[in-house]
Amino acid sequence: MPNELDQEPHSGQPTVYHIRIRGHLGPQWTDWFGGMTISLEDNGDTILSGPVPDQAALYGLLKNARNLGLPLLSVIPVELEQPQSKERQP
């Protein structure tokens, strides 16, 4: 059964994700989460953001959060804007 992801052409580029977890992580966890950027929110949440090369890597990041006992709040792929090419005018 096809889904929307199956219909998108694969660009060969990693997808950027924002992974929101409950609780604050220190910067020492950057390597544990594959070099993702760690942003601390005022409400006590942490957002891990960065490129993820494939689904296996995404599942690995989520497994690391689970192994630390961190509640997962959301996983959001981020749409990056493509630079628009300028059309030549005659």
Range of the domain at 65: 13-78
Say how far apart CA 85 and CA 77 lie, in whole Å: 24
53: domain CATH number?
A: 3.30.70
Examine residue 26 and state whether it is found in any structural domain, yes or no. yes
The torsion angles phi and psi of 34, rounded to 5 degrees, stand at: 65, 30
* pLDDT (tens digit per residue) in 56-90: 999 999 999 999 999 999 999 998 765 555 554 55
Examine residue 61 and state whether it is found in any structural domain, yes or no. yes
Examine residue 57 and state whether it is found in any structural domain, yes or no. yes
Say how many Å lie between the first and final Cα of the chain, rounded.
Answer: 48
Examine residue 89 and state whether it is found in any structural domain, yes or no. no
The total number of structural domains in the chain stands at: 1
- Does pLDDT of 8 surpass 60? no
Q: Classify residue 7 by burial, with Cβ atoms within 10 Å: 0-12, 13-18, 19+.
A: exposed
Q: Decide if 75 contacts 66 (C-beta within 8 A).
A: no
Examine residue 4 and state whether it is found in any structural domain, yes or no. no
| CA atoms within 13 Å, Cβ hemisphere of 58 | 16
